[in-house]
Amino acid sequence: MSQSIFKLVDELPKDNLTVKSLQALDFVIPCEWKNLVGFENTIRTVTGETDEDMIQQIGDRAVYLFNDKSQGYQTALWLYQTIDSAGSALGTAALANKIGENVGFLSFLENITPKADKAQSIDLSLKVIVELLAFCQINGLPGDSIGDFLGALGDYGGESLMRMAALVCFDGLLPLGPDFILSVGDRLGQMQPSDLKENQAFNKISDFIPGGNPAGKLSFIGESFGSVSSWMGNFVGDRGLTPQLVAHNLSKYVEIADDKLDYVAAFLDMSTNYYEHTGIQTLAHRLIERAVAEI
């Protein structure tokens, strides 16, 4: 059985490596993200209500909604958690690969671990997919037209926007460089379905990816990445983001070697869980919005 939603939100860390690395991105989206933790605290902050009876009703309804599997909230949680745990394994493999390139006696590692760039490209694309899938599990397909749906997607703020900022900075710019959008698009275009089958994260979430067979799913992944490319490109361009700028700001919060960006990216992959952390916050936020409207 899934952990209760109130326990998940109560146990969100106030301060750890994940939180510090996200705080380091405040320069990207100033004041958008405050690390909101604690279930009751979230109810009070989201709704602005202080009446204890109302808070009880809101929390109770949110608990009921989360525990009803048909409503999709547990699937969304599973997606956020799964993509982060797959990332941890990926980070370890990529780091081992990096060490293998530079240290002679460990060079055999290059033969048995995925190439860092290809693996990071898949990781980035799958995180985009998870975001789209989790969005639909949590919010449905809002409105009556594609325009309405894109409007909902484009309305990202707070913890959801921070998740996307971290995706661009930690999974895009740092490991893959300033041209990551082009290079990932190219790599996806050249990929074979068999490349996906070797990928642990893909295998875990593939049942939820539309497209039928692996070739169809690869096509869906490529199209989805393509559809968010201009959003990501504008996000980077509007803010003048570069790998060096991200690493420089990160080094104020986390001790890193800011001239070894590949290692930094792999280290973050291994030791942070920003998708799960901000994903739980998004889930709580949306559940509470729905609960207070329904009671």
Partner 1 sequence: MVKSLRKLVTVGLLSLLLFVGITACSPQPPSRFDQAQQESTQKGAKAVAKKSEQGSSFNKFFPKSGNGYDRVYTQEKKGFAEAKLKKDGKDMAMMAISDTINTPSAAAKFEKSTTKIEGFPAVQQGATATALLVGDRFQVKVLSRSPDFTENDRATWLAKFDLKGLAKLK
Q: How far is the CB of 238 from partner 1 (least distance, A)?
A: 15
Shorter beta-carbon distance to partner 1: residue 38 or 211: 38
For the chain, the first-to-last Cα distance in angstroms comes to 26
Nearest to 131 by CA among 111, 106, 156: 156
Q: How far is the CB of 40 from partner 1 (least distance, A)?
A: 8
Q: How far is the CB of 53 from partner 1 (least distance, A)?
A: 9
Q: How far is the CB of 122 from partner 1 (least distance, A)?
A: 31
Q: Which residues bind partner 1 (CB under 8 A)?
A: 1, 4, 6-7, 10, 39-40, 47-51, 54, 56-57, 59-61, 63-65, 67-68, 70-72, 138-144, 148-149, 151-152, 155, 157, 286, 289-290, 292-295
Shorter beta-carbon distance to partner 1: residue 57 or 183: 57
Separation of alpha carbons 60 and 79, rounded Å = 24
Separation of alpha carbons 276 and 85, rounded Å = 9
Separation of alpha carbons 228 and 130, rounded Å = 13
Nearest to 73 by CA among 158, 4, 12, 134: 134
Shorter beta-carbon distance to partner 1: residue 29 or 99: 29
Q: How far is the CB of 43 from partner 1 (least distance, A)?
A: 10
Structure tokens belonging to residue 271: 């030791």
Per DSSP, 161 falls in state H
Host H or E run for residue 187 = helix 180-190
Shorter beta-carbon distance to partner 1: residue 29 or 152: 152
Shorter beta-carbon distance to partner 1: residue 70 or 190: 70
